[in-house]
Every structure is written in C-alpha cells, then in structure tokens.
Amino acid sequence: MSFVRFYPKRIYIERSMRDHPTVETVLNNRPQAEAIYVDDPDTIRINTPSGVNPITYRKKLLLLRRQKGSFFKKCPGIHDTICCNYYILNWANDCHLDCSYCFLQSYLNHSVAKIYVNTEDMLTELDHVFKKNPRSNYRVGTGEYADSLGWDDMTHLSDTLVPFFAHYPNALLELKTKSDQIDRLIRLNSVGNTVVSWSVNPPKIIREEEHKTASLAHRLRAARRCAEKGYKIAFHFDPMIHYLEWETGYKSVVDQIFDTIPIRQIAWISIGAFRFHPLLKEIVRTRFPKSKIFLGEFIPADHDKMRYFKPIRVQMYQKIRQWIADRDPNIFNHLCMETEDVWQKIYGFSPGCSADLNRMFDNRGILFTQNS
C-alpha cells in the first residue's frame, strides 16, 4: 500500500495572492490543475455533480488564500481531560488522505481544502510569541487539521519551517504524518528542534480504514531515514481501534517500531482511543460502507463525543503501555485526551492538570537544539 500524492483537479487562488511565492511554488508543482482566480474566497460555491458525494468531490479541489486570523493557536482540548499544552500552527485545513474515521469530515462542513499561503505573516507571529516569552517552552504542531507532510512535495513548507524553528531554543516543531514524504526533510542541513512523528496502526486498520496513506512498513522506513538524518522521532497510537485481533496487531506495531528505530531517537509515544462526533457515523456509512470502526461498544462523553466503554480503553492502554515498557521502560509515553481516573489506572498517578503534563515533557528534555 503506497502513499497517493495529491494532484488537484482545480485550484482556486485568492486574486490578491496570485504573485505570492507559495502560490507560484504550488502551481509550478501542479501544472495539470486548472487555476481559477477569485476576488473573495468566501464566495466560492461548489456544484457537486449528481450522484457524487460532496466530501469526496471536494477532495479533488484546493484553495490558496490569505490567513486573515492567527496562525498560532492552543490545541482545543476537551473538558475534564488532561491535555499536553500543545500548540497548533493553522497553515491548512483538510487533506486529500481519506481516513474513514477522520473528524474533519464532520467538522469542516464540506468546505474546499485550503492552504494559507502568507507564510511571512506566520513566521512573524511565531517570532513574536517565542521572543516575548523566552522562558516558556512551546511544542507546535502542523498536523492537527492537515497532514504535515502530505503536501510537502507541492508546498515545500518544511524548507521554511524546519530551519526557522532551529533558531529558537524554547520552541519545538512537530511534523505529524501518515505519509512517507520525507525527501525534502532529508535534504535540509539544519534539523534542530524538529520532531517528525507518525500516526500508526496495524496494517489491517491502515488497509481498511486509512485510504491513500502509506503502509506501516513505508512509514517506518521513512522514520528510520529521518532518525539517521538526526531528527527525533515520535509515534501516535491514536486512534487505537478495538477489533477482534487488536492485541496481536498492536503488539506487532510496537515491536516493529523498536526493531526499526534506535531508542535514543524516540522522543515520545502518545496513546489514544477512537472517539467521534455522532454526526460522523452517517458520513462514514455513506462514504465507507465497508468500514467496521463503529462495531465497538461506545458511550456518550463530554463535548458530544462518543468513546469506547472505559474498561475497553483501559485494557487497550494497559496492554500497549506494557508492550512499550517491555522494550524500554524509559521511553516517554502518555495518554491523549483522557480523564484523570484513566491516567490513575494506567500509570498509577495523574499529572493532575494539563500544565503538569507539559512539565513532564520539559523534564524529559523533549525540547532541544541540535545540528543547528
């Protein structure tokens, strides 16, 4: 199973940005796409052909526009769960990958995938934040609303971000992906303060639910190349899917990680179980009728989310934490979007609050400057 690159059928461009270097880069890398210039991107109306799913159709389109608001935002945690004080760099919304469980299907209201091209404003904003608070440490990710590297061959954004973060001792960039598109990262001379991370699942889940993404073998091969270059590597077991052979599947993933990546290069491993908004269920049944992700036992949780029954989550977390510890008890791992009582059941303690979990990252020396 190979990663499928994005070749949009049509690219909408905010007219005022037509001469921007990022726009030129994208158009040069995707010359086959029809370019349509618009004065106001908010007025774009997409007429989906009859019989075609609107989400599927819009995944063939792209919008290049100016970010009018802030690029830098706090990760939207959930009430009564412990978060890791993470920050998001909102450079794009949506991606062409087609994971059946993707929350963006019910979140973005069928809008066209977009890239905010005014990167100079993004860098100015980040510079101001990092210099204004030099004693505060910032972990910043680009993979919350888009795959960090899925479009890198088209945008070359990593060429800008990785060297930029290398100059700030209190800032760390996380590039999170389900792709194997790391060629541009390998060419860079400065890799300081960048962690390249992969979302991982057993091959069965990748094959059945994570469409157009790279296989597990390809992800781990790319991770090894990045580790050899000097990047720190992280892994996200999120979302974990509960299925019949889940123990065999996830243990194999843990073993393959430790058999492939040097332990000294692994920065952290995060763990989280599948959760979803009820609106997603009908979308998935329409777009992915063969999907089995809703076969588990789910209960309502805060913020209108559905989650696996707590004993199921605890069992999955305990197993995967033990498998990690069996390979190396010192690897930093943590739960994602989980409650204090679940933390107690898994680790025998709870960070108490999001700030405490953030200090755990700091105390482990997750922030670093290397090869810069």
The 10s digit of each residue's pLDDT in 94-110 is 999 999 999 999 876 66
Is there a contact between 113 and 62 (Cβ–Cβ < 8 Å)?
Answer: yes
CATH class name, domain 67-363: alpha beta
pLDDT at 248: 99
pLDDT at 68: 95
Q: Give the tens place of pLDDT for each residue, 253-284.
A: 999 999 999 999 999 999 999 999 999 999 99
d(CA 167, CA 190): 10
Per-residue pLDDT band for 163 (boundaries 50, 70, 90) equals very high
d(CA 158, CA 136): 24
Q: Give percent above pLDDT 90 in the chain.
A: 82
Inform me whether the pLDDT recorded for 301 exceeds 70. yes
pLDDT at 2: 86
Domain boundaries, the chain: 67-363
Inform me whether the pLDDT recorded for 78 exceeds 70. no
Q: Please name which of 162, 48, 169 lies closest in space to residue 110, comparing C-alpha atoms.
A: 48
Residue range 113-138: average pLDDT?
A: 96
Residue range 313-327: average pLDDT?
A: 98
CA 83-84-89 angle, to 5 degrees, is: 105
Per-residue pLDDT band for 302 (boundaries 50, 70, 90) equals confident
Average pLDDT, the chain: 92
Radius of gyration in angstroms for the set of CA atoms belonging to the chain, rounded to a whole number: 20
Inform me whether the pLDDT recorded for 370 exceeds 50. no
Residue range 75-90: average pLDDT?
A: 70
Per-residue pLDDT band for 368 (boundaries 50, 70, 90) equals very low
pLDDT at 1: 72
